[in-house]
Structures are given as C-alpha cells and as structure tokens.
Amino acid sequence: MKKLLTTILSLGVAASAALAADLSLTATKVSDQLDAINPDSAVWSKAKFATVVLYPQTAIEFNDKEANEANKDPKGKKAQVAAVHNGKEIALLVKWADGTKNVQGIKCTDTYSDGFAIQFAGTTKKSQPLPYVGMGSVGRPVVVHLQKATDKVYEPNGNKDVSTQINRQQTGFFGKELAEYDAKVASLANTDFERVFVGEGFRSLTEIKDKSVKSNAAMKYDNKGWIGTLARPLKDDYMNGAGTVAATIAVWDGAKHGRNGLKLLSSWIAINLEGQKANAAVVAEATEAPKGDAAKGKAAVEANGCAGCHQIDKSMPAGYMAPSLVNVGGYSTAAYLRESLIKPSAVVVPGFNRNAHSNTPWYNLEKGKRVSTMTDYSFLDKATIEDIVAYLKTLKAEVE
C-alpha cells in the first residue's frame, strides 16, 4: 500500500511538471545492466523521450575573435532526452541535430570537436537551492561528465613514456621496426575523450582522475545529428541520486568553434526515478513558471538601472562588469534569478581572470570569499522581484 501511494505521488508530481514544458522527466525503471550502454542499446526502446530546449550560453564573451564572429547570432536548439535507471545506475540519452560532424584534428591548431556534457547536482546537506547552472557555485558542487568527439589524444600520462614521445623520424628505425614503433605510440593514445569533473563554479572545475567515478559515455553521429549516452552510478563520492536527480545538458558545435562556455545549455531538469518517491521541491524548482508580470518587470529593470552593468538585449554592448543577461531566461531557474537579485553574492558568476578587465571588477575578495559588486536588491518589494524574475525568464534566444 505504501509503495502504491509512493507511486501515485510520484506520478502526480510528474504529471503536474509536464505542464511546465519538459523540465521534468521520468527515468524508466529497467532491470538491465547500464554500465556498457551506448546509443544503439536496446534499452532505449523502453525509455520515454522528452524535449529539452538548449540555449546559447552567452553570460560571458570570450576573447576569441573568430569564435565570436561565428556565434554572432546564436540560436537555441531542441534536444530529445531520455533516461533509464536500474536502482543503482542512471543512464541518459541526448539526441540533437548538428549539420556537420566536427572532430578536432591532431594536426591542426584551430579546429574544435562536437561534444556533449551532462551535469549533475553534487552531494550537499540540503538538495536546494540547486547549484548555479554554469558548473556550480561555492558550496553547491556539481559533477560534470564530458564526452567529445576526438581523434586520438596523447595525454601526458606521467608514466615516463619518454621514449615514445620522440618524433618517428628521429627514432633511427626503418621498415618493420618503425611500424612497430608507430603501433606502440598509437597504443598509448587515448581515443575516447571522456572526462569527469567536479567543480564549484566553472573556473574551479577539476578533473577527477583518481577513478573515484565510474562512468561510461559514448556518442554517435547519424542522420545529421548526434546521439550521446552516459551511464553512471546514482550514488558515489560526489553525487547522491535518489527520488529525483537534477541534471543539465550542454552540447558543443565544433563548426562554431564551440568549447568551454561557447555551448548550448539547458536549464536544470528534474529526472524522477520511476519507482522511487520524487522530490517534489526539486521538481518544483526546476519547473517553476514565474508568476510575476513581465511587462512590469521590464519597467522595473529599466528603473533600477540593471543595464548599467548587464547587457540586456543585443543592441547594447556586452561590457565586462557583469554577465550578459541576453539568454539568461533560457538556462536559469526562477529561483536562481530571484536569489541573484536579493543575494547577489550567493553565486558570483566566474569568468575571465579578474585581471582581464582590472578596472571593472565584478567581485571583491573579502576574507577569501567573493563578494559581488552588484547592488543588493533585497530592498525591493516582493511583487517587484517577482515581476523582474518573470521578465528575465523571457530573455532567451530564438529556438531552431
């Protein structure tokens, strides 16, 4: 009976969430092993697909002239997302359109790979508020799984493989011996560019190399689009997934010089694990539709001088003082926007090193903590805050 009730409850949450677009989805319970999952695995036929919109991440403009030119007018993209779990592991599938397959060459200096990443909220005492969508924030860690379509990568492996670093022409080998040398070098290369990071804000992102996370990501180009899959344990040192797992999805387009922040990014998605009690609060945070009046919010944004530091629409220059808000509504939750207004230092969006724009510091260090230079708007009345949140949620790029 108790079990039945739980199921009904979780279904109820899922149903109400479905009304707020696909920011909540259900991971189908399966009995299959998931650790070897790939885009062709049969298990995906059991999964329910949802549509998630990915928006261009434009908080910060990077200093690559050609990349900025290629991303002048970025558009959002729709991705198909499915999830399954077996009680121990969770697996996600992301399918998105990409007209060109880009694989970073090992003999080029200016080519970039297509890729995708799935970010999970890390373990914290309280599961809310969710971490900042741009790779976490101080005290609210995230785990990021990254898969890129790359050719061979020869990591400096620290194993003193110095003899195989020599240029083949300098080995003194010919014929069969040279072929053997080439084969040995190739065997040391890493052909799967799969990485796992933990971070509290994107500059802090640190690769997990101690094998404390077991995961498996794969990607496949087919029919003018990519399918990416990832399997990882629901629980490990970095994550404690139960009931509802919060995740975001990012994709990179190599043709547009995509890497790092130059990507398309979803807002937080609540993934309810079928058969477990959903965390209604997390679902609510991910799916919350703002209740304020966006038109009033726009007026309030103008009246409060937000544009003094933030780029609000494209007609304004981007500036260096504060993150651009042009697409902020696409990848931010209402809760994050609200928090940023009344507690500006809760998340200080990290960008370039601060000395990249030393005259416009967007934070100061006080006792080792980053204190935002943004005005604290907690003096505004609640209704105005809600109106501003509603307006900011409307700021997003067109979707392809």
Partner 1 sequence: MSKRQLAMVMDLNKCIGCQTCTVACKTQWTNRNGREYMYWNNVETYPGTGYPKNWMELGGGFDAAGDLQPGVIPNLEADYGVPWDYNYESLTTQGLLDNTGAAGFHPHVSPTWGPNWDEDEGAGVFPQDNYFFYLPRICNHCTNPGCLSACPRDAIFKREEDGVVLVDLDRCQGYRYCIAGCPYKKIYFNPKISKSEKCILCFPRVEQGLPPACAQQCVGRIRFVGFLDDEESQVHKLVHKYKVALGLRSDYGTQPNVYYIPPTESPAKFDAEGKIIEGSTRLPIEELEKLFGPAVHDAIKTLKAEMQKRKETGASELMDLLIAYQHSDMFRLDNNYYQQVAREKKRNPLAPVDTRYIAGKFTTKGHGQVLFSGHTTGGHH
Binding site for partner 1 (CB under 8 A): 60, 62-66, 68, 104-110, 141, 150, 153-156, 158-160, 165-167, 169-170, 174-175, 178, 193, 198-200, 202-210, 212, 237-238, 259-261, 320, 350-353, 355-360
Phi, psi of 179 (to 5 degrees): -60, -40
Q: Which residue number, 141 or 297, has a Cβ lying nearer to partner 1?
A: 141
Q: What residues contact 189, with CB distance under 8 A and at least 6 apart?
A: 152, 153, 154
Q: Which residue number, 7 or 204, has a Cβ lying nearer to partner 1?
A: 204
Peptide bond into 131 cis (omega under 30): no
Q: Which residue number, 82 or 208, has a Cβ lying nearer to partner 1?
A: 208
CB of residue 350 vs partner 1: minimum separation in angstroms? 8
Q: Which residue number, 145 or 338, has a Cβ lying nearer to partner 1?
A: 145
Q: Which residue number, 199 or 292, has a Cβ lying nearer to partner 1?
A: 199
Residue pair 121/202 in contact (Cβ under 8 Å)? The answer is no
Residue 134 CA to residue 330 CA, distance in Å, equals: 12
CB of residue 243 vs partner 1: minimum separation in angstroms? 23
Q: Which residue number, 106 or 289, has a Cβ lying nearer to partner 1?
A: 106
CB of residue 68 vs partner 1: minimum separation in angstroms? 6
CB of residue 108 vs partner 1: minimum separation in angstroms? 6
Q: Which residues of 86-101 are buried (b: 16+ CB within 10 A; e: fewer)?
A: beebbbbbbbbebeee
Token match 């990071």: residue?
Answer: 197
CB of residue 308 vs partner 1: minimum separation in angstroms? 17
Residue 241 CB neighbours (<10 A): 23
Q: Which residue number, 67 or 83, has a Cβ lying nearer to partner 1?
A: 67
CB of residue 231 vs partner 1: minimum separation in angstroms? 21
CB of residue 152 vs partner 1: minimum separation in angstroms? 8
Q: Residue 235 pairs with which residues in a beta bridge?
A: 240
The token pair at 315 is 């007609």
SS3 381: coil
Residue pair 255/69 in contact (Cβ under 8 Å)? The answer is no
Residue pair 194/217 in contact (Cβ under 8 Å)? The answer is yes
Residue 57 CA to residue 396 CA, distance in Å, equals: 10
CB of residue 120 vs partner 1: minimum separation in angstroms? 14
The token pair at 232 is 């990882």
Q: Which residue number, 25 or 349, has a Cβ lying nearer to partner 1?
A: 349
CB of residue 226 vs partner 1: minimum separation in angstroms? 19
The dihedral built from the CA positions of residue 285, 121, 215 and 116, taken in this order, carries a sign that is positive
Residue 170 CA to residue 294 CA, distance in Å, equals: 67
Q: Which residue number, 200 or 253, has a Cβ lying nearer to partner 1?
A: 200
Which of 127, 47, 134 has its CA nearest to residue 92?
A: 47
CB of residue 192 vs partner 1: minimum separation in angstroms? 13
Residue 392 CA to residue 293 CA, distance in Å, equals: 11
Q: Which residue number, 252 or 391, has a Cβ lying nearer to partner 1?
A: 252
Q: Which residue number, 99 or 158, has a Cβ lying nearer to partner 1?
A: 158
The token pair at 178 is 């040279």
* Distances in whole angstroms, Cα of residue 339 to Cα of each of 58, 205, 256, 269, 348: 20, 23, 33, 19, 11
Residue 16 CA to residue 247 CA, distance in Å, equals: 19
CB of residue 204 vs partner 1: minimum separation in angstroms? 6
How many angstroms separate the most distant Cα atoms in the chain?
A: 79
